[in-house]
């Protein structure tokens, strides 16, 4: 029975048949208390105990167990006009710790995945510099490197939820995020190499893909903590993450982290490119649009239980876990409620607390089998506390698409099944 729940989400249909499933879940829980007949998995000899398994080199590049085949990125087809300029989502409900495995990092492309051999890649710096320069990948790897763990969140993460609860699963509501360790060269060193002229206040970064993705970034940020990265989690960037070279813009919206970066132009003004005017601007209720909303506000979500990961063990000890992050720094504290915000409990933070990285939290409790209304709220190191959806709507209306960092609510019914809801 337990296995059946795995990787499925309770749609309205399965919700209706949920009662049936509950019987099984409860039964298995009671069985765990006192075993009636011996477990054949223990009493009978299993083939894996007897016969040899695969040798080394069976898979020169290792892959996850076949039992994890459901742990994949998923897309929401109706979101975009076509599958090339589109998006898929990280399966947050299947992950733990703070690092996202490379193959599960969500993808967002505007012109598909550019296929570039590293020896064919060039990075140019031009504009208001003393020396316009061209770098090869080999050149870049001769600069001092830095390693940093940063989250990358798409500004449109949770964007479908402004007008109301829409998607059943934290993969879909919050999965436009990943958190990996980057290895790369500080952008500062490359700009110093070219010599920025005194009136160079902005840079424009441009990708080598079929979208020619371009964004403006203020010089102060460019010189502060941006990286030109070629590795993620120790290995080369995945093609869909910008192989062989991408920009890393810590704490700022994902669209600025230009993949396949090929050019940096220094200028005295911003460019107002399409992705910072028509898109990635936040339209408020009064018709005014905020632009250059780069920083990602503090945010958190409970990943388990959640609609794709219901409670399958019945009453008793239950682990609530989730992730939190802030574009302004670290997350010293996350509060969790199981009664829809009447009472809050400080969650247990576990794992490294790194600047502009994802953080992991846990809250363990004894479930009494009654329905739950689960929420988490992040506090970042500036004292900012993640707001409710209604608090954000009061300021921004429902049309701003981007930067929805509000508190997420999951309703968990008696069967342990979870649903995306909004509450008073």
Contact set for other proteins, span 258-317 (CB under 8 A): 262-263, 265, 267, 269, 271-274, 277-278, 281, 283, 285-295, 297, 307-308
84 binds other proteins (CB under 8 A): yes
422 binds other proteins (CB under 8 A): yes
Cβ-based burial of 51 (10 A; exposed 0-12, middle 13-18, buried ≥19): exposed
Pairing between β-strand 177-186 and β-strand 227-232 as defined by DSSP bridges: antiparallel
Asked if residues 270 and 220 have their Cβ atoms less than 8 Å apart, the reply is no
101 binds other proteins (CB under 8 A): no
| Beta bridge pairs of residue 263 | 124, 206
Helix (H) or strand (E) holding 22: helix 18-33
Least Å from the CB of residue 1 to other proteins = 16
Q: Which is nearer to other proteins, 345 or 370 (CB)?
A: 345
Asked if residues 261 and 123 have their Cβ atoms less than 8 Å apart, the reply is yes
| Beta bridge pairs of residue 182 | 148, 232
Q: What residues between 19 and 58 interact with other proteins by CB under 8 A?
A: none
Q: How far apart are CA 302 and CA 291, in angstroms?
A: 30
Least Å from the CB of residue 232 to other proteins = 18
Pairing between β-strand 177-186 and β-strand 122-127 as defined by DSSP bridges: unpaired
Q: Which is nearer to other proteins, 28 or 166 (CB)?
A: 166
Q: What residues between 342 and 381 interact with other proteins by CB under 8 A?
A: 342-346, 373, 377
Q: What residues between 225 and 254 interact with other proteins by CB under 8 A?
A: none
Q: Which is nearer to other proteins, 272 or 370 (CB)?
A: 272
Q: What residues between 389 and 418 interact with other proteins by CB under 8 A?
A: 391, 395, 398-399, 411
Q: What residues between 183 and 212 interact with other proteins by CB under 8 A?
A: 185-186, 188-196, 198, 204, 206, 210-212
Q: How far apart are CA 237 and CA 246, in angstroms?
A: 8
Stretch that binds other proteins, among 27-35, 48-56, 213-221, 356-364 (CB under 8 A): 213-221
The residue behind tokens 């994949």 is: 72
- Candidates 20, 134, 348, 364; binder of other proteins (CB under 8 A) is 134
The residue behind tokens 């920083």 is: 295
Q: Which is nearer to other proteins, 29 or 143 (CB)?
A: 143
Q: Which is nearer to other proteins, 143 or 362 (CB)?
A: 143
DSSP letter for each residue of 255-284 = GGS-BTEEEEEEESS----GGGTTSS-EE-
């Amino acid at each position: 029975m337990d296995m059946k729940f795995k990787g499925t989400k309770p749609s309205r249909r399965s919700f209706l048949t949920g009662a049936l499933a509950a019987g099984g879940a409860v039964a298995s829980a009671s069985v765990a208390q006192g075993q009636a007949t011996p477990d054949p998995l223990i009493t009978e000899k299993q083939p894996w105990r007897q016969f040899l398994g695969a040798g080394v080199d069976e898979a020169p590049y290792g892959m996850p167990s076949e039992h994890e085949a459901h742990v994949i990125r998923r897309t929401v087809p109706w979101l975009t006009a076509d599958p090339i300029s589109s998006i898929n989502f990280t399966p947050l409900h299947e992950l733990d710790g703070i690092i996202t495995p490379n193959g599960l990092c969500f993808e967002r492309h505007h012109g598909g995945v550019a296929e570039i051999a590293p020896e064919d890649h060039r990075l140019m710096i031009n504009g208001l510099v003393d020396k316009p320069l061209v770098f090869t990948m080999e050149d870049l790897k001769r600069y001092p490197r830095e390693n940093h763990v940063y989250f990358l969140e798409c500004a449109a993460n949770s964007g479908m939820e402004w007008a109301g609860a829409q998607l059943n699963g934290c993969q879909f509501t919050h999965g436009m995020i990943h958190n990996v360790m980057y290895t790369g060269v500080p952008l500062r060193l490359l700009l110093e190499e070219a010599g920025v002229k005194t009136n160079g206040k902005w840079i424009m970064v441009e990708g080598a893909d079929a979208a020619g993705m371009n964004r403006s970034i203020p010089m102060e940020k460019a010189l502060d903590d941006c990286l030109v990265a070629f590795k993620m989690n120790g290995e080369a960037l995945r093609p869909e993450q910008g192989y062989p070279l991408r920009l890393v813009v810590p704490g700022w919206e994902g669209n600025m982290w230009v993949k396949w970066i090929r050019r940096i132009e220094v200028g005295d003004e911003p460019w107002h490119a399409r992705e910072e005017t028509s898109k990635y601007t936040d339209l408020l209720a009064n018709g005014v649009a905020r632009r250059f909303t780069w920083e990602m506000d503090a945010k958190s979500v409970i990943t388990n239980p959640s609609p794709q990961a219901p409670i399958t063990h019945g009453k008793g000890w239950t682990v609530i876990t989730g992730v939190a992050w802030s574009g302004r720094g670290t997350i010293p504290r996350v509060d969790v409620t199981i009664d829809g915000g009447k009472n809050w409990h400080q969650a247990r933070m576990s794992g490294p607390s790194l600047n502009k990285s994802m953080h992991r939290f846990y809250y363990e409790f004894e479930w009494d089998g009654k329905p739950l209304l689960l929420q988490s709220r992040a506090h970042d190191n500036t004292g900012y506390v993640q707001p409710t959806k209604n608090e954000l709507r009061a300021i921004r209306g429902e049309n701003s698409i981007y930067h929805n960092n509000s508190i997420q609510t999951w309703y968990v019914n008696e069967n342990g099944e979870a649903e995306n809801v909004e509450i008073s």
